[in-house]
């Protein structure tokens, strides 16, 4: 890093978090940052005590015309839940995620009081609602930012901000 870039720094942490995911349909990591401090992390995986996709296979359901694995709690949701478990305040914080949030997670993010979401790549997720994410975030006052990705473009979404 030529200059200290906090967004890149926290996204790198989110990438490490993503490596712990237990559903290989998509490895996603999320990090919640308040005042330049990581207060919570989350990756997608089965609820605590439940079998993991990596061990028993996926739980696929048709959602909005595409197969989605519904077993896992998403990384963004898990980061919020982990904050709830530990009592960390997330209001006014930034959530870094390696893939843009699905409709469900974005709603949780909004209600948790997160004011900024930084995404590494655009991810077309369940319900076919991903395309409306930006408008939805804008309407709710959450700033949605895509980090420039010099090496990779999401394969199915050329509209990714870069």
Q: Which residues, at least 6 apart from 93, have a Cβ–Cβ distance to it below 8 Å?
A: 32, 33, 34, 39, 113, 114, 115, 116
Closest CB 17 distance from Zn ion, rounded Å = 15
Q: Which is nearer to Zn ion, 26 or 36 (CB)?
A: 26
Which of 61/138 has CB closer to Zn ion?
Answer: 61
- What element of type H or E holds 105? helix 103-112
Q: How far is the CB of 75 from Zn ion (least distance, A)?
A: 8
Cβ closest to Zn ion, residue 17 vs residue 23: 23
Q: Are residues 28 and 97 in contact, defined by beta-carbon separation less than 8 angstroms?
A: yes
Residues that bind Zn ion (CB under 5 A): 23, 25, 53, 58, 69, 74, 102, 105
What is the closest distance, in whole angstroms, from the C-beta atom of residue 52 to Zn ion in the complex?
8
Query: How buried is residue 155: exposed, middle or buried, by Cβ count under 10 Å (0-12/13-18/19+)?
Result: exposed
In the numeric block, the tokens 């089965």 are attached to 46
Is residue 156 a contact partner of residue 123, using CB atoms and an 8 Å limit? no
Catalytic residue among 8, 15, 59, 76: 76
Q: Is 76 in the active site?
A: yes
3-state secondary structure 107-140: HHHHHHCCCEEEEEECCCCHHHCHHHHHHHHHHH
- Residue 148, token pair as written in the block: 């420039």
C-beta closer to Zn ion: residue 9 or 116? 116
Which residues are identified as catalytic?
A: 76
């Amino acid at each position: 890093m030529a200059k200290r870039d906090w967004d890149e720094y926290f996204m790198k942490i989110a990438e490490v978090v993503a490596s712990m995911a237990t559903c290989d349909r998509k490895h996603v990591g999320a990090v919640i940052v308040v005042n330049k401090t990581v207060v919570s992390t989350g990756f997608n995986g089965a609820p605590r005590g439940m079998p993991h996709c990596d061990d028993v296979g996926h739980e696929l359901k048709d959602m909005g015309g595409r197969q989605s694995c519904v077993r896992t709690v998403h990384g963004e949701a898990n980061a919020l839940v982990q904050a709830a478990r530990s009592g960390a305040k997330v209001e006014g914080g930034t959530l870094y995620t390696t893939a843009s949030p699905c409709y469900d997670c974005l709603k949780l993010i909004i209600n948790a009081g997160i004011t900024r979401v930084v995404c590494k790549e655009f991810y077309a997720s369940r319900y076919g609602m991903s395309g409306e994410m930006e408008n939805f975030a804008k309407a709710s006052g959450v700033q949605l930012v895509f980090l420039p990705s010099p090496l990779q473009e999401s394969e199915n979404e050329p509209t990714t901000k870069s």
